[in-house]
Structure 1
Amino acid sequence: MTETDDQLAERLATTAGAILLALRAEGLDGKALGQAGDEAANAMLCRELRAGRPDDAILSEEEKDSAARLAHRRVWIIDPLDGTREYGEGRDDWAVHVALAVDGVATVGAVALPGLGITLTSGAPVPLRPANSPLRMLVSRTRPAAEAVFVAERIGAELVGMGSAGAKAMAVVRGEADIYLHTGGQYEWDNCAPVAVAQAAGLHVSRVDGAPIRYNNADTYLPDLLICRAGLADEVLRLAAEYRPAS
């Protein structure tokens, strides 16, 4: 039986995670490990996608981009190793992203969290847990965005530092946190798979101005992102719009 797109994404993300764990067990660390991991995971993902979906385009953080993908309705958007620093430091808050955007919409996604031994997918959404009390908002563990700090203070949310974008987004999906507000800029491969998984789970996903997120753009830079419980979206978006940088 032919694999569905969801099954393919899950298998490839999980396999890439196993490759990365095996590499880390060989004793490399730091930047050398990160580089080796990026290369090995990317090679496998691109090889398997070209074999399994030869008519689709690929956008990968680790491959030279081509404008030819803009003519494709179906584009696989992958990040072979999201959270290279965390991976190299022996932490668990890193991920593998495999997503399919169709007509610019994040349609299929798989996010492997190899350090935790799980892969979350759009094809098998996990039930949302009750909200945390107090609410928990995820931010970068090294550089929390000022907008996120501003919003958290006004809704009484606890700030939780975490590594990769995929790890943070999946923490909301898994109920470990309630809000992921990011305004520091990302690229399409940083959030396409997490967005697909979060949407399938019933979470709110948008730009920080409330606009939908579109993929397979000529410019792959995405300035901001909000993933949160649907019931919190209006208030978080309103407060984010009120934020003004200190002069």
Structure 2
Amino acid sequence: MPAHDLPLLIDAARVAGRVATGFAGKTARRWDKPDDAGPVTEADLAVNDVLQTTLRLARPDYGWLSEETEDNAQRLGKESVFIIDPIDGTRSFVEGSNTWAHSLAVADGGEITAAVVFLPMRDKLYAAAKGQGATLNGATLRAARQPDLSQTTVLAAKPALMDHLWHSGSAPTFKRSYRPSLAYRLALVGEGRFDAMLTLRRSWEWDIAAGALIVSEAGGVCSDQKGAPLVFNNADPRLNGVVAGGGPTQAALIAALA
């Protein structure tokens, strides 16, 4: 199944890239979603439309979960489900930056089996299939393995460093860095460019699904903030935070969290 789906996701991601880059980020029409859910642009919707048409035509028996499609319960009865973020990092897209990504994944029985994170402005295509490893533009990826948190660089937003979130009453002395796209943060961990990433807020499945498989297939570990395995295609498609990294780093972060 993973080998069957991955080429489809790769082709669809490249189509999405052509659609998205046809819009000028700073001039694309945009508006804010209700309930402070963030911005959306005409590019997000155009990409969502082309992905939904392409992928569901190819796999009509699969369910569908996307940030830009109104959710319904039909997907819960499907064994296989597409989990899609048409543009992850919309604020970055609007600003004209190049760190936004397309995030495409397939979940089978709650487990991600095929995944792509594609940054068209940087020509970086991360891909993974369960049991077959992870790649960046065809080159094999390996996650870093740094057991000493004081020597690590962790991708995280500033709120994740608040003292009350950590067992010792303060965050470990790792170096913090940041990228606006959660999917890209996970892919960078899989690439080994950063030792780990974490987000301690409730996280949408479409932000996490593809990157989680890239990390695990690169030899890393990805869990929720309590260390529990991630399960996808939930009735409420939000996860209890995410902590990902090479095995020793990820375990040290889980142990350090309150």
Q: TM-score, length-normalised on structure 2?
A: 0.83
Matched positions, count: 237
Q: Does 1:28 align with 2:44?
A: no
Write out aligned runs for 1:112-191 (5 A): 112-123=118-129, 125=134, 126-128=140-142, 134-140=151-157, 143-146=159-162, 150=166, 155-191=172-208
| Change in CA separation of 1:130 and 1:235 when aligned onto 2, cut-off 3 Å | closer
SS at match of 1:14: helix
| Change in CA separation of 1:24 and 1:90 when aligned onto 2, cut-off 3 Å | same
SS at match of 1:162: coil
Task: Give unmatched runs, 5+ long, in structure 2.
Answer: 32-38, 135-139
4+ runs of 1 displaced by more than 2 Å?
Answer: 29-34, 129-134, 142-151, 153-156
- Larger helix proportion, structure 1 or 2? 1
C-alpha displacement at 1:30, in angstroms? 7.2
CA contact (8 A) 2:101 2:117 kept: yes
Cα distance in 2, alignment partners of residues 148 and 15 from structure 1: 44
Per mean C-alpha deviation after superposition, the further-off stretch among 30-39 and 7-16 is: 30-39
C-alpha root-mean-square deviation of aligned residues, in Å?
2.5
Q: Does 1:106 align with 2:105?
A: no
SS at match of 1:204: strand
CA contact (8 A) 1:10 1:110 kept: yes
Write out aligned runs for 1:5-44 (5 A): 5-24=5-24, 28-29=27-28, 31=30, 34-44=40-50
Task: Give unmatched runs, 5+ long, in structure 1.
Answer: none
Q: TM-score, length-normalised on structure 1?
A: 0.87
Equivalent position amino acid for 1:82 in 2? D
Q: Percent identity?
A: 27
C-alpha displacement at 1:165, in angstroms? 0.4
Cα distance in 2, alignment partners of residues 233 and 45 from structure 1: 33
